[in-house]
Amino acid sequence: MRCISSEAAHTTLWVYALLVTRQPCILSAMPQPELLETFPNPYPGRDYEIDMTCPEFTSLCPLGGVESDAKELALLQGGAPDFGTIIITYVPGDVCIELKSLKVYLWSFRNDGIFYERAVNRILDDLSACAKPRWMEVVGDFNVRGGIKSVIRARVGNRESGIGNRG
């Protein structure tokens, strides 16, 4: 089962980028939520938790040119690459996220100039729209950049059961 995305989100982002930068912006067709697939939950009546760790997440810093000493960065649309680990935890509803499609979806961020906060929330929005979980959390644990480490957490739904409560 494939999940289909709306063009409205891309248009909204383009308008926002134009307002912020006051320059015409070229936005990639990434990320690509239409790559996500699901399969029927084998135990839809039971609350259980699925944890997925994706240690090879990459995107581009949206502030290209900050590292002005590297002429090669001019070839990138965005900026220097950002690396991190994405941790997805959810209690499935009627469907579960198919892992290979998740991998390819996360790869679709590779050439996208995107802030950490937007990436994590976009992943959460796309995955929760596709799988409609009872509860989901996405954590972006990003590598140090400029001496600062960032960890971003976003959640949807209510975690009513005691499954995985980390106190």
pLDDT in tens, 54-112: 999 999 888 764 444 455 555 555 578 899 999 999 999 999 999 999 999 999 999 88
Element (H, E) at 78: none
**Selected catalytic residue, list 61, 96, 112, 126:** 61
Is 25 labeled as catalytic in the residue annotation?
Answer: no
Is 61 labeled as catalytic in the residue annotation?
Answer: yes
| Model confidence at 2: pLDDT above 80 | no
Mean pLDDT for the stretch of residues 123-144: 97
**Selected catalytic residue, list 3, 82, 96, 141:** 82
Domains of the chain: which residue ranges?
8-157
Write down the pLDDT at residue 3.
Answer: 55
Helix (H, G, I), strand (E, B) or coil at 160: coil
Write down the pLDDT at residue 116.
Answer: 95
Give the CATH number of domain 8-157.
3.30.1130.10
pLDDT in tens, 7-58: 444 444 444 445 555 555 545 567 899 999 999 999 999 999 999 999 999 9
Write down the pLDDT at residue 16.
Answer: 46
Distance CA 22, CA 84 (A): 30
Mean pLDDT for the stretch of residues 120-145: 97
Tokens of 99: 């892992």
Per-residue burial over 37-48, b if 16 or more Cβ lie within 10 Å, else e, is bbeebeeeeeee
pLDDT higher at 160 or 46: 46
Q: With both helix axes pointing from N to C terminus, report the angle between 116-131 and 99-107 in degrees, rounded to the nearest 10.
A: 150
